[in-house]
Amino acid sequence: MFVSCSVQFRQLDMLNQIREANTDPLEGIAWNMDWNGDSYTLYAATEGDQTLFGGYGDKLLGFDGFDLTNVIGFLPNDDIGRIEIEGDDLLYFVNDRLVVRHVCQSWETQQQTDGGLKFTRSCVDDSRQQGDRRVYQNEFEINPAGELSRLRFLLHPDYPTMTMTPIENPS
């Protein structure tokens, strides 16, 4: 017996409808994401306490204010990624199956010379052999005007971190 499942995201549907209308009311909220050798244009939207970045097709990233929580449309085989926070640790799930737990430090804030702020959380994949442990940092920056200006997060433990920056004049 085959069972199928369909997932619908109102926010992603809204972003796709705007894109199909050939208008750009999203100018100013477009972001460039560089990840795993590819670049993507994503558009920011808010839903409750989440900030969502959606793009063409079924691509969606969800943030809870500090942490990446959802990865949809980027992983192979249409896998859906989810990251849960347990204390300071990050639990990486793929299709609701726990893949790995990363041991992380608390977020640290650093004042930048231009008056902006940089938030950094250092993490380590403690599940690997001692010499093969991956250490990385999730980061986001706030410019002096109080606007989010850069994101750098790990989407999945088997891939490099992604970097997102706002697009000044999207085309």
Q: What is the CATH classification number for the domain harbouring 110?
A: 2.40.360.10
Could you give the number of structural domains in the chain? 1
- Does 127 reside within a domain? yes
- Does 2 reside within a domain? no
The larger pLDDT score, comparing residue 111 to residue 57, is at: 111
Structure tokens at 161: 């971190």
CA distance 55 to 151: 16
- Does 1 reside within a domain? no
Range of the domain at 119: 10-166
Residue 22 has pLDDT above 70, yes or no: no
- Does 4 reside within a domain? no
Q: What is the pLDDT of residues 82-114, one digit of tens each?
A: 999 999 899 999 999 999 999 999 999 999 999
In the three-class reduction of DSSP (H, G, I as helix; E, B as strand; rest coil), residue 49 is classed as: coil
The torsion region of residue 37 among left (phi > 0), alpha (psi -120 to 50) and beta comes to left
CA distance 139 to 118: 7
Task: Kindly report which listed range (16-25, 29-38, 88-97) carries the lowest average pLDDT score.
Answer: 16-25
- Does 111 reside within a domain? yes
Task: Kindly report which listed range (18-32, 92-106, 114-128) carries the lowest average pLDDT score.
Answer: 18-32
Residue 12 has pLDDT above 60, yes or no: no
- Does 153 reside within a domain? yes
